[in-house]
Amino acid sequence: MSKTKIGWIGLGNMGIPMSLQLIKAGYPVTVYNRSKEKESPLKAMDAAVTSSPGELIQQTDVIFIMVSNDEAIGDIFNGKEGLLSAKAKGKIIINMSTVSPAISKEMAALCHEQGNDYLDAPVSGSVKQAEDAALVIMVGGKEATFKKAQPLLEKLGKLALLVGETGAGNSAKLAINTLLSFHAQGLAETVLFAQEKGIKTGDMLSIINNSALGNIFTKIKGDAILNDNYKAAFALKHIAKDLRLAKAEGLNSPLSKIAYQTFQEAEAKHGEEDIIAVIKQIGK
């Protein structure tokens, strides 16, 4: 697959480091982004740029998409100069965005009508994992298509796992992001309770991170709390959106109800900050 021509749509916090991994691996990469200034880091690495998704799909073999929501996916596929407008055939389209299973099923059907294959392949991990090619990628779609794409996915993450048919990757992502919301809210509540009892935040975080409960998340987000640094690696607005998607898919468990309420309330004031800024909402 070394000569496979890669197209990449979406150059946000995750899209830039992920697409750079493919350039570093020696693949020719062509990019499209609505905000043209975000294409600069890729151009500096000799990536080509295009003026539309329709132009991009004509020039490439495998197209990756990493955008924020269902609406953006609809525009990329169905817009006047969208992917489907080119009527290209024989392409593999890999949607790595966190979106609803329903939109993946809809877009997969439209791709199939034109003779293309579609995978939904959202990721677990944030910017640091994208920079280290250590993402966990959960994939929905046909096994034959997954096997074709697997060498590329393995350049982006430490695990690429086919979990079911179209939409299954999206469902798995909504499930793990539900757990992510529990971790964030739980860490925030633990730190705040300890503070109320006169325990220093640094001491509480040392206890957590040296216990069986410590993990990469508690270390990174604990450091963010200590340093009062809420610059978004994973914006709070995104977890609020993901919980809405999960609720729409039927998630109705006790903890999910609480997390849903907390993050919906936090989104208005702290949506552009990192997920762990939820501590501000809880501690207000």
Active site residues: 173
Q: Which amino acid is at 93?
A: I
Bridge-based pairing of strands 92-95 and 62-65 is parallel
- Kindly report the CA angle at 151 between 25 and 176, in degrees rounded to 5? 105
Q: Is 105 exposed, middle or buried (0-12, 13-18, 19+ CB in 10 A)?
A: middle
CB atoms under 10 Å from CB of 245, counted, come to: 23
How far is 234 from 73, CA to CA, in rounded Å? 19
- Which tokens go with 141? 């779609």
Name the H helices within 51-167: 53-59, 70-78, 101-113, 127-131, 143-153
* Residue 88, CA distances (Å) to 53, 76, 160 in order: 11, 14, 27
